[in-house]
Structure 1
Amino acid sequence: MGDALVVDWSEDGQERSAAWRSERGAPPPEQLAIVDDRITADEAYGLACQGIALLWRGDFQNARQMLTALAHRADKPPRKAAKPGKPKAPADAFNLARQARAQRARTLGMLLIPLEADFAIPLRRAPDIREACLEAYGSATQEASVVSLRELLGVIGAHEWRRRGIELHGMKIHPHYGVFAPVRSEYVDLVAKMSFPPVAATHSVAFDIGTGTGVIAAVLAKRGMQRVVATDLDPRALACARENVQRLGFGANVDVVQADLFPEGRAAVVVCNPPWVPARPSSPLEHGIYDPESRMLKGFLGGLPSHLEDGGEGWLILSDLAEHLGLRKREDLLALFEAAGLKAIDRMDIRPKHPKASDANDPLHAARKLEVTSLWRLVPKTPGV
């Protein structure tokens, strides 16, 4: 619960309070209204747009329907169409899209659900989500709490992802809540297809930097790497990766360790799939997508030469979406290689397969339809070259 933030309100003539939960880091609401099935969607949307939170006391399934109705209103185009003008630069379009998503998230996040100390929902027709909450939040507390329904549905959805798993290359990966799920399988395809350097035959060690679910570490072990060291800083990711490699039978080959980028030693292959977009995350759950000022990318490139065996390779997995969004130029990336004393000896490209790549209604569709994901093979430059 971090700093144990609290939300306060008046109800039935009494002053009440509960712990405030927000994984995206939203502050507790300053104004709160008690609502139930009698409120209309238009009334609820009007209050939410004013920043007034709505603590639901009615039927849980009706609350879900209300959230859907609020989303429909938030997604309606403005009554006055914008006047046609100069096309926006890609970076401006990206920033406007992020602002719109953030505003939408704030508005929809105003519909709140109470949770008892054991994570039970004290509402009619509420599902039993205690297991899902334990996975996301950890052990139950001794106090009731309040959470946005939108976030709670994310917790429930993450529980289903974890229960069912994701099929990739004959393996089933089970992502945990708050850990970036490998739903875009093309980058895993690249790791599965790229040939190992010859030195891997005698020094069969690989590093997976920023392992997340552990999927890349598992692919490397499945391909025959005798030892894989997978690193991450996030406790959720570490627990997730350990669980996955154990379930897949690679526990003897894969060590999952907490480290800021690199573990100790050197490897024949060092793989990194950093967040692809150099922008600041607006919530903790966005750290798998955004890499502010390319910090992880720069850290990986800068430390790579000293962690490679002679003849070893660094495999950088990176989408060029940031280039099409105007957030990074290709020459900027190549300059980072140069500054780190690295050169690219090969590159394998693949087109994305995810639904957004073909969604013409996506505000970033113009950039997404051009996107290519690459695996760059990097080696230290020979002095004087």
Structure 2
Amino acid sequence: MQTDSSTPQLIHWTENGEERSARWHSESGMPPPKRVQVADDTTNADTAYRLACEGTALLWRGDFQNARQLLQALARRADHKHGKGKKKAPKAAASPTEAFHLHRQAQSQRARTLAMLLIPFEADYSIPLRRAPDVKQACNEAYGRGSEPFVASLRELLGLIGAHEWRKSGVEIPVLGARIHPHYGVFSPVRGEYVQLVANVPLPKKTETAFDIGVGTGVLSAVLARRGIARVVATDQDRRALSCARENLARLDLQDKVELMEADLFPPGQAQLVVCNPPWVPARPSSSIEYAVYDPDSRMLRGFLDGLAAHLAPGGEGWLILSDLAEHLGLRPREQLLEWIAAAGLQVADRHDVRPMHPRASDASDPLHAARSAEVTSLWRLQAAN
């Protein structure tokens, strides 16, 4: 959830005996801190961590690189508090579901604490601090044209800089023989196994039109177009995603084969193939980027299933790309998914499975290791029931 720019929020603090204020910006939708204290190079990490945990934000006025070092020190203290680096192992959760909720709770607490270190920006995105980097391009990519000074968390800025580097370097997609360049706030296709599934599963006969529901970076639309489908219509309700997909498709010279449309789920009409890779975990996202991972109450998944039959051409297929991680976490049983499929007037024609290869699947220190090590990503081939 992004801060509503139509009603700008303000952050207030006292500096040199004067009351001051500035516009507050938070991509995660975090409200402006109620207590703000000016900090600089003389502020030590223990004091900063105590204040942050108490809900007092620190508006930095010292050297920028020292602020980065302070943020790292705060992160070490937060990780130690939540069990990382301790010799004694934390108490095991009673169930995978409890482990998930405890993990999310710890993540949320950590994020709130680290977000308490703030930095000022000028209207042109310059940072009025010693040794501050030039982040104007990264900020323009993420926020659009600047209009007035504001304050944001240093942690958000570092994430924005990281996204800018991802955008420049891109992610190698072997089945395309090219790179996809994710934009800020658009989920990166680092989980290559689902892209491989879409590239390898046989297409329905006489597939001339395909819909890509939730286009994201445009990677699946590009794969479908490269497979020879004459017309691909791709939708998304996030304008950042549409902009990202447009740029990637143009880079791949596929802009004439893919039509992009701002829509919640389906475009008008029917297609022989309708593809959807919804968020895999039914939980509440805590930031805009997490909407690609967390789907509250399985809204997008159920919306896709409920509307699919009406948008399938005769003999057509819907390809649902979904991890079973939610099942291993006890958040959505397989039986429920099958009930939703049947209730939507659909039947399962086939299912193609693949094991994920990402590092977390083999990281025994991950609090969710038991679920991740058992995870399978599937492409469900769905048809209208007879």
Superposition TM-score, scaled by structure 1 size: 0.95
- The aligned counterpart of 2:26 is 22
- The aligned counterpart of 1:57 is 61
Residues 2 and 372 (structure 1), Cα distance of their counterparts in 2 relative to 1, 3 Å cut: farther
Is residue 23–residue 285 contact of structure 1 (8 Å, CA) maintained in 2? no
1:103 aligns with 2:115: no
- The aligned counterpart of 1:283 is 287
Partners of 1:305 and 1:154 in 2: how far apart? 40
1:76 counterpart SS class: helix
Is residue 199–residue 312 contact of structure 1 (8 Å, CA) maintained in 2? no
Question: Residue type matched to 1:176 in 2?
Answer: H
Superposition TM-score, scaled by structure 2 size: 0.95
- The aligned counterpart of 2:237 is 233
In structure 2, runs of 5+ residues without a counterpart are none
Give the C-alpha shift of residue 285 in structure 1: 2.6
- The aligned counterpart of 2:126 is 120
Partners of 2:359 and 2:45 in 1: how far apart? 30
Partners of 1:36 and 1:336 in 2: how far apart? 55
Give the C-alpha shift of residue 354 in structure 1: 1.1
- The aligned counterpart of 1:325 is 329
Partners of 2:160 and 2:277 in 1: how far apart? 25
Question: Residue type matched to 1:35 in 2?
Answer: A
Matches within 5 A, 1:28-39: 28-39=32-43
Residues 83 and 356 (structure 1), Cα distance of their counterparts in 2 relative to 1, 3 Å cut: closer
Partners of 1:349 and 1:317 in 2: how far apart? 10
Is residue 61–residue 126 contact of structure 1 (8 Å, CA) maintained in 2? yes
Give the C-alpha shift of residue 81 in structure 1: 5.7
Partners of 1:10 and 1:293 in 2: how far apart? 43
Question: Residue type matched to 2:288 in 1?
Answer: P
Instruction: Give the one of 167, 190, 199 matched to 2:172.
Output: 167
Question: Residue type matched to 1:173 in 2?
Answer: I
In structure 1, runs of 5+ residues without a counterpart are none
Most deviating of 52-61 and 278-287: 278-287
Residues 121 and 84 (structure 1), Cα distance of their counterparts in 2 relative to 1, 3 Å cut: closer
The CA deviation string for residues 40-74 of structure 1, in whole angstroms up to 9 with x for no partner, is 11111111111110111111111111111100000
Question: Residue type matched to 2:310 in 1?
Answer: S
- The aligned counterpart of 2:226 is 222
The CA deviation string for residues 163-217 of structure 1, in whole angstroms up to 9 with x for no partner, is 11111021211111111111111111110111101131xxx11000011111100
- The aligned counterpart of 2:309 is 305
- The aligned counterpart of 1:148 is 153
2:108 counterpart SS class: helix
Question: Residue type matched to 1:165 in 2?
Answer: G
Is residue 209–residue 271 contact of structure 1 (8 Å, CA) maintained in 2? yes
Instruction: Give the one of 183, 192, 202 matched to 2:199.
Output: 192
Q: How many residues align?
A: 377
Partners of 2:91 and 2:315 in 1: how far apart? 56
Residues 377 and 48 (structure 1), Cα distance of their counterparts in 2 relative to 1, 3 Å cut: same
Alignment RMSD (CA, Å):
1.4
Give the C-alpha shift of residue 321 in structure 1: 0.1
Give the C-alpha shift of residue 283 in structure 1: 2.5
- The aligned counterpart of 1:137 is 143
1:72 aligns with 2:76: yes
Residues 44 and 83 (structure 1), Cα distance of their counterparts in 2 relative to 1, 3 Å cut: closer
Instruction: Give the one of 183, 188, 191 matched to 2:190.
Output: 183
Is residue 301–residue 337 contact of structure 1 (8 Å, CA) maintained in 2? yes
1:352 aligns with 2:356: yes
